[in-house]
Structure 1
Amino acid sequence: WLVLTQRNTPANTSVRFAHSNYKTFYVPESLFRYQPKKMPFAAARYNQCSIVGNSGILVNSGCGHRINQADFVIRFNFPPVLTRFMKDSGIRTHLFTCNAGIIDTNMSRSQNDQPMEKLRLEENSPPVRPPLSRACTRLVSRLVRHVLHDSRYQHDSVRGVFLNHPEHRRKTTEFWARKGLVERSLSSGFYVISAALSFCDRVRVFGFWPFERDRRGRALRYHYGVRPRDQGPDNPWHRMDREFYKLVQLYAKGIIELVTKPCS
């Protein structure tokens, strides 16, 4: 179960957080009614997916065109898409994910500086789904109200706010632990790449690079659009270097395409 649905999580029940054996997340009726009745990806299968991270390696990469060619494009944490980075990061977005801290920060901005306005959400595409494994009801409800009741977002491409099922994240973490990747928490990027393999025939990964310099020795910003707010490579929750090594292994086996050089 990738996301909470009305079938797998009834109203007025609680689910365990992904990283806790005793803390739970309560699903009230007010939130339940916005969840899909069944699993949204049950019948979906995409030929090619672009998973777009926020690493500074995207700057001057010219990869925007290749990213846009995909059938399904996934981004993270309110990336600056409609900006000067379009030629490098692309413009299309079918799904973006964000964690509780990012939601809290961005939803607290003034009404004149809304981060979702920087995203181009594809018409007739699946809904916006921010997977949240540690968010509290207050933050989730706040995002639901913001997205679904703000007139600026009343178009077909924004049809729901879906919640990542904690059990799916827990099982994914356990799977990678058996493969030698032991972390307090998988990063959203690595987790989503893992999930995408279940509904994408070909997965192209852009903007994943945890190092201070690129392959040519060029100094990089940690994030291409903003200065890092998540402690960058010193984040105690994630080991980006270990995750990247696993991505390289997946690339070597032909499971994913890992783009770490300029596209043009």
Structure 2
Amino acid sequence: MTDAGGTWREAEQALQAGIDYERANAARIYDYLLGGACNFAVDREQAAKILTQNPDMAYVCRANRDFLRRAVEWCLSQGITQFLDLGSGVPTAGNVHEIALAQDPDARVTYIDFEPVAVAHAHEVIGGLENVSVTRADMRDPEGVLAAPGVHDLLDPARPIALLTVAVLHFVPDPELPAVLARYRAATAPGSVHVMSHGSADHDDPELAARTRAIQDGYRGSATEVVLRTREEIRELLGGLELVPPGLVDIVDWPTPSPGARPTGGYAAIARIA
């Protein structure tokens, strides 16, 4: 039997699909911390390690999910009804398309992820929805992503798009990442926005900084280790664009401060692309 409970034949098919049962993956760890079921024992073991390092991690994941909901709702309030979700992960309750379609049945959402379990489950979740697509692709290849049928045939480049990079960029160590993100933004119409959340240990509170570094330590040895960027480096990823108020703030404080809420150590922002 395999770790996922399948047969050896299923294990072979999984390996052919690119599923790695031996190393934990950020998408599946995140799914587990949110209470999902699309994860393996190796992911749960890594999650336990992360929680040992920082017991707040499950709280951080939920706070980030809440930020995603608020950001999508804000985009819709601005008339932005198209969403390109890079590194979308394993779908759980409160997916982008659920939030968007509940308010605008004509909204369009395309999910991009490289992790095969996340992609397979996403296909199951969206069923036959006409305005939602899932594409397995590497977000570091903007030309390939933008040319993929699930993106090219669904999103209208003449209309504003919300580029979503929520809790994903701190798993991308590529030094060319600013240029990669700039390419995506260059392909969008005026009125588009870039939505981001990103982990960081750059905080005035030394205890908060230490807790965030502990999360980074907890991911060591997984297939997706964490890169903690400074506030300046995160700002660089947004290309110097105008930030929607309140700017670059803790995830729990976007778009309005949340007095008494425990800070997460992650920053959130929405930048106006044009």
**Would the TM-score normalized by the shorter structure come out above 0.5?**
no
More helix by share: 2
Q: Flag the structure with more relative contact order, 1 or 2, with Cα contacts below 8 A and sequence separation at least 6.
A: 1
Output the TM-score relative to the length of structure 1: 0.37
